[in-house]
Amino acid sequence: MKAFVFPGQGAQFTGMGKDLYETNEQARNLFEKANEVLGFRITDIMFEGTAEELKQTRVTQPAVFLHSVITAITMGENFQPDMVGGHSLGEFSALVAAGALDFEDGLRLVYARAQAMQKACEAQPGTMAAIIGLSNEVIEDVCEKVSQEIGSVVVPANYNCPGQLVISGNVEAINEACTRLKEAGAKRALPLPVGGAFHSPLMQPAKDELQAAIEKTTFRTPCCPIYQNVDGMAHTDADEIKQNLIAQLTASVRWTQEVENMLAAGATAFTECGPGKALQGMISKIAHGKENITIQGI
């Protein structure tokens, strides 16, 4: 069974999508439609912009979304998924590719999400850190104790793969948690160059803002099950999908559980649609030891 997966923020690079734009008329039309919907030429930033310009949340999220979705759409008959999933932002890409959301509606929601998250970051500064080489249980326990003891937020945010979990929260709580996790035996506790505490309670204002936009948007039954971040489970009901998408901003991304459930459902071929190879690396670790699994990009 074929699983198509879509990356999140952080996979961007200068020049992303330029080859598609120049060689595929359908892609070019979709990129130009995106410029029109957004009200600025995001293609100029994607194709020629600096890494710093691409790092702006209001640019990064729609840019990664566009690259991912247009890659899938222009595959034509080669895009025939039995299941889809996306990491954080990538869940929006997966929903459009699977037909649950129109291209323009998906882009508008992603842009609204990016702007809402940017505002939340400015109102309540936070950060994230990748913890390498500890069990989930130890990390969860340390986060809970730090939050209780110093009265600041630090929570597990991204369950990326075995031995890699990203935590998110207030800067002082992240620093304290990193210190304790190193003492507990973490190989690395690496602060990430992000401007906010994504997938934590600090994103509540963004969640409230995005909820209003999602509730006004029409969702349809996807062409195949979508495995969603909040619970790692397969969903096809449009109302359930909407509620899970709303919850996603303040909830943990349960990517490890999501891929494990795809494997349990019979996935044998994983294809990453979009920039970068991050998901391929994560899936390789999650599927380690399983036979006859293929993992590739486009």
- Starting at the edge strand found earlier in the chain, the sheet holding 83-86 runs 234-235, 226-227, 83-86, 2-6, 269-272, 294-297
With 0-12 / 13-18 / 19 or more C-beta atoms within 10 angstroms meaning exposed / middle / buried, residue 296 is: exposed
Strand partners of residue 253: 158
Q: For tokens 């990748």, name the residue.
A: 130
Respond yes or no: is residue 288 known to be catalytic.
no
Respond yes or no: is residue 199 known to be catalytic.
yes
Distance CA 202, CA 231 (A): 20
Amino acid at 14: T
Determine which one of 199, 200, 235, 252 is catalytic: 199
- Starting at the edge strand found earlier in the chain, the sheet holding 127-132 runs 154-161, 164-169, 127-132, 188-191
Determine which one of 88, 93, 147, 200 is catalytic: 88
Which active-site residues does the annotation give? 88, 199
